[in-house]
Structure 1
Amino acid sequence: METTFDVRIWKTEVYQGTRSTSYYVRWVVAGKQWREAFKQSALAESFRSELVSAARKGEAFDIASGLPVSKRRTTRDVPWYTFACEFVDMKWPDVAATTRRTHAEALMTVTTAMFSNVRGKPDDKLIRSALCRWGFNTNRRNDPNMPDDVAAALRWVEKHTRPVSALSKPDILRAVLAGLTRRLDGAQAAPSVLSRKRKIFNTAIEYAVERELLSKNPVPALKWKPPKPVLAVDRRSVANPLQVRSVLNAVRDQQRSGPRLVAFFGCLYFAALRPEEAVALKKHNLSLPERGWGELHLETAEPHAGKEWTDSGENRDRRQLKQRERGESRTVPCPPELTALLHAHIAEFGTAPDGRIFVGERNDSELPKLTITRAWKRARADTFIDRVAASPLARTPYDLRHAAVSTWLNGGIPSADVAEWAGHSVEILHKIYAKCLDGSGEALRQRIDRALGH
């Protein structure tokens, strides 16, 4: 960057047009004249004052842009929406499909808080859909089949978002962060959702600093405290063995997909598999005797992301195991009860052509997410009375994994072994999964009674 101290700043000029009045700030840097137009006198005087102040302080001016070095970044600034699209494109090749979708959701929230004005703004629901499904999707942003209303909404967003540099202003940054704390209905967002969105936003800010669109990350200096994320699993969601077996029996009665899912849910409970790990199980991953203890050798995971976000165009993204490098595997013990369930499942339904254990009734390439959640919801409702069904107890299939890890820990299995089987570090295990089973609180109270002599 070539700079100079040869600067002269002239008085603001006023041009009275037939329809409006314009105010021009003129100055000369190293013999070259520069001029900036403003619609309001106050804005013009403010800009001129910044130039005068920089010159009086002895600050060098950039010859290429005509601005003080401290203001040079503004000339390289871009609208937030344009920058956010570039950030998405930079991240897209190296992140999982589910992460791509999460990026889009977080950036949508930030973008709607960065509008410079709302004149002519399209419907809010249309804007959110356009940003999440098209604008922040690298594969679809330039799709010639994009609906006209979506294209028009994205054009409006591009023209009406503040520049990235606006985030250096505390009031704007605070409004953006406050927006991250709210759901679409205005209610408080879950701390885990807020934490995830803040991490994505902070990563985008660091990228802006790398691109020299911001001089530094303004978030740490802002006096703003987010809600603390809840790391531990809700104790009330952890089911005991009797409750789990009762729901599994009810799953078997759910026609027509229920019988196909009993062993699937069994993998989540008896082996603490994540749903995306159980979905990816193939016959060669099983090392099972006819009866008794066996082993499951996990190699891949297939989280549901949606066709819009995967490179393959399928609903599930084929990935390495969570918190594992590509090619790494994990071995999990298979209890006799799960061994029996898997043998019965394969005997009744066989496997897909590629050896996949769990597939849909009409689709031998994947097990639909809707099929899983619908069967579990119905079986749970059939098992529990209304009061229990309204509680968090085993509300989602993932709660089976929580119950499994809690069972192991409360059974006296060393933390290091449980962490290895569950695919976690010991530290994370203790923070999140070390929960007591339903009914253990009563046992503890009985111990206290005995200690008090009752």
Structure 2
Amino acid sequence: MTTSHDVRIWSIETIKRVRKTTHRVRWIVAGEKFGEMFTEFALADSFRSKLMTAARKGEEFDTETGYPASLRRTQAETKTWFEFACEYMDMKWPDSSPKYRKSLVESLVAITTAMMREEYDGESATFRKALKVALNKNTREGGLTSELQHAINFAKKSSKTVGDLTSPEVLRSLLHALDMKLDGTRASTNTIRHRRTTLGNAIEYAVDEKKLLDSNPLDEVKVKKRKFTLHEVDPTSVINPIQARKLLSAVAESGKPGPPLVAFFGLMYYAALRPEEALNLKKENLSIPESGWGDLRLERARPEVEAEWTNSGEASEEGPLKHRAEKEGRNVPCPPELTALLQAHLSQFGTAPDGRLFRGARNGGRVRSTVYGRTWAAARGIVFTAEVAAGPLAKRPYDLRHAAVSTWLSGGVEPTRVAKWAGHSLSVLLRVYAKCLDGGEQAARDRVERALIGQ
């Protein structure tokens, strides 16, 4: 941290606008200009007085933040976690996808709830909803019910400060709260990982950019280290090609929504597409013959997310592919069986006006997960016995993607190529998706046995 005694503090500047008047305190440290805005003159005058006092006492001012050491500590002690969490979310918002925004806010809601000095005097569900609204940049300024406004006001008054995180007792209590669900049982490993990652990143922001803390208090508190691992695919959930064909045939028999979704599920099984990729696939992305091998060019995805999380205000807006830059796509081979499904779909159902292969029955928008989820459940009920259907085998539509990647790997396709087709890094592929189909273990042992005898 670079500091200086070269400080000049200017008079308060009053800025009059149509709707409101603000007051700005400006000062210079080693030639660098700084400023703070206040809605009331008294607040601006108090802040300026603190700067003047620090300068008279000969305190060194930070050339990066403009604050003297004493005032910087005061900032940490007075800045509530609720206020800081809103600022942190605003910083993350522009460069985050809608689904990541929603996930981040869910973690911040858990953290902020645990950072209250006292329990909310109303319904806990209302308080969590109010925090979700306040942390969302799109809904924060909208018309709020009196109930939500009361909950937000409570959060503003009852929140602990950022400086409270330097207390080991506060930090340990917070970490324990992040490990738990609302009913007092332990949360899933993935949920805990997301919450702790969010907390760590937010504190680093408070240290590195906002200069509210001198160091990360997480580094100074001894807590039990938890080992977080990527979720691995359950081999018992992976279907084989025969089962896949039977299920796809059953989809066509699963009521009115079924036939238009056969090719959708086919894309997930034969090309390992994610649901948001398949649902945004357009005719222009297909390079397929009447029969035989073809190619798919994936360019954009349409993940399912509510309108309040998007930039356009449109639910499930189109965005870049997962783990890809804005205009970075990927090519996936289209095997003959998938080519046949796609050609049949185009012939029977055509496309939406924008060229999308799949569209909702009512308004032509995105097919909702509830719709294709019910269709898939119906198909499993047709193909599987009640005992098998109650188990994990192809329980979710996403398990078709797992099966596709496993099929490629067990078929001998090199992992680097499989990772490229699936849109994953090689490390993630090997740790998560490298699962064998039924019989894969025996096939591997047979290959080893042949190698040992020189065949």
TM range (shorter): 0.7 to 0.9
Partner of 2:418: 418
Partners of 2:324 and 2:434 in 1: CA distance: 22
Q: C-alpha offsets along residues 209-239 of structure 1, whole Å, 9 cap, x if unaligned?
A: 1211211111133222234234321222211
The CA distance in 2 between the partners of 1:192 and 1:403, in whole Å, is 22
User: In structure 2, what is the equivalent of residue 282 of structure 1?
Assistant: 282
Identify which range, 192-201 or 347-356, moves more after superposition. Answer: 192-201
SS of residue paired to 1:394: coil
Alpha-carbon distance change, 385 to 222 in structure 1, aligned in 2, over 3 angstroms: farther
Matches within 5 A, 1:274-313: 274-313=274-313
Q: Is the 8 A contact 1:60 1:68 kept in 2?
A: no
Amino acid at match of 1:154: I
Match of 1:135 in 2: 134
Residue aligning to 1:328: 328
Partner amino acid for 2:392?
A: P
Cross-structure match for 1:54: none
The 2-side partners of 1:450 and 1:93 are apart by: 56
Q: CA deviation at 1:121?
A: 2.0
Query: 2:13 aligns to what?
Result: none
Partner residue in 2 for 1:108: 109
Q: 1:210-359 residue pairs with structure 2 within 5 A? A: 210-224=209-223, 225-359=225-359
Distance 1:289 1:114, change over 3 A: same
- Are the equivalent residues in 2 in contact too, given 1:277–1:298 (CA < 8 A)? yes
Q: Does structure 2 conserve the Cα–Cα contact (< 8 Å) formed by 1:191 and 1:230?
A: no
Q: Does 1:91 align with 2:92?
A: yes
Structure 1's 262 and 127: CA in aligned 2 closer, same or farther, altered over 3 A? same
Deviation at 1:199, TM superposition (A): 1.7
SS at match of 1:219: helix
Question: Which residue matches 1:6?
Answer: none
| One-letter amino acid matched to 1:189 | A
Which residue, out of 170, 173, 178, partners 2:171? 173
**Counterparts of 1:143-222 in structure 2 under 5 Å?**
143-144=142-143, 146-209=144-207, 210-222=209-221
Letter in 2 for 1:87: Y
Runs of 4 or more consecutive aligned structure 1 residues displaced over 3 Å after TM superposition: 59-63, 67-72, 441-451
User: What is the Cα-based RMSD across aligned positions, in Å?
Assistant: 2.6
CA distance in 2: counterparts of 1:384 and 1:216, whole angstroms? 57
Q: CA deviation at 1:202?
A: 1.4
Size of the aligned set, in residue pairs, is 391
Q: Distance in 2 between the 1:72 and 1:313 partners?
A: 38
Checking the alignment, whether the CA contact within 8 Å between 1:131 and 1:154 is kept in structure 2 is: yes
Please tell me whether the aligned partners of residues 62 and 72 of structure 1 are also in contact (alpha carbons under 8 angstroms). no
Compared CA separation, residues 290 and 70, structure 1 to 2 (3 A): same
Q: Distance in 2 between matches of 1:249 and 1:268?
A: 15
Shift of 1:332: 0.4
* Separation in 1, partners of 2:386, 2:185: 26
Q: CA deviation at 1:390?
A: 2.5
Q: Which segment drifts farther, 275-284 or 387-396?
A: 387-396
Change (3 A) 1:135 1:196: same
Task: Check whether the contact 2:254–2:375 (CA below 8 A) recurs between aligned residues.
Answer: yes
What secondary structure sits across from 2:428 in the alignment? helix
- TM-score, structure 1 normalization: 0.80
Q: Find the aligned partners of 2:247 and 2:149 in 1 and give their Cα distance.
A: 47
Report if the CA contact (8 A) 1:268-1:278 is conserved.
yes
TM-superposition CA deviations, 1:344-387 (whole Å, max 9, x none): 11111110111111111122232222212221223223332233
**Structure 2: how far apart are the matches of 1:442 and 1:186?**
44
TM-score (norm 2): 0.80
- Bigger Rg over Cα: 1
Task: Name the amino acid aligned to 2:356.
Answer: R
Letter in 1 for 2:430: H
- In structure 2, the residue matched to 1:440 is 440
* Unaligned segments of structure 2, at least 5 residues: 6-56, 62-66
Residue deviations 1:77-104, cap 9 Å, x none? 3111111111111111111000110111
Amino acid at match of 2:112: T
Distance 1:428 1:216 in 2: 32
| Alpha-carbon distance in structure 2 between the residues aligned to 1:428 and 1:363 | 37
Question: Which amino acid in structure 1 is aligned with residue 299 of structure 2?
Answer: E
1:55-66 superposed matches below 5 A: none
| In structure 1, C-alpha distance between the alignment counterparts of 2:90 and 2:430, rounded to whole Å | 37
- Amino acid of the structure 2 residue aligned with 1:149: E
| 2:379 matches 1:366 | no
Taking a change above 3 Å as real, the CA distance of residues 203 and 278 of structure 1, as seen in their structure-2 partners, is same
2:96 maps to a residue whose letter is V
Q: Any conservation in 2 of the 1:96–1:317 contact (CA below 8 Å)?
A: no
SS in 1 for 2:218: coil
Fraction of identical pairs, as percent: 47
> How many angstroms apart in 2 are the aligned matches of 1:391 and 1:445?
27
Take 1:326 and 1:443, find their aligned partners in 2: how far apart are those partners?
41
Within 2, Cα distance between the matches of 1:128 and 1:419? Answer: 39
